[in-house]
């Protein structure tokens, strides 16, 4: 069976999280649509919070 693609918004959130962990700026968000951009930024914010809490090295 083929594996289904993940939801577009879930993927954007995950990519935002990865960008935040890597220390990228939120200005580098690749999305323009409001919903998808919001999800990406939400993932980015979660990663920044995790970094500040010490879960990831800077």
Spell out the per-residue pLDDT of the chain, length 58, in tens: 555 666 899 999 999 999 999 999 999 999 999 999 999 999 999 999 999 898 887 6
pLDDT given for residue 3 in this prediction: 58
Domain that holds residue 18: 8-23+31-52
Instruction: Give the chain's domain count.
Output: 1
In a domain, 2, yes or no: no
What gap in Å lies between CA 25 and CA 6, rounded to an integer? Answer: 25
* CB contact at 8 A, 19 and 44: yes
Q: In the numeric block, which tokens belong to residue 3?
A: 């594996």
H helices of 1-58, where?
Answer: 8-21, 34-52
């Amino acid at each position: 069976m083929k594996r289904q693609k993940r939801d577009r918004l879930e993927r954007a959130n995950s990519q935002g999280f990865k960008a935040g962990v890597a220390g990228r700026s939120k200005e580098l968000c690749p999305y323009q649509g409001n919903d998808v951009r919001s999800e990406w930024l939400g993932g980015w914010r979660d990663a920044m919070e995790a970094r500040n809490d010490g879960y990831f090295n800077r």
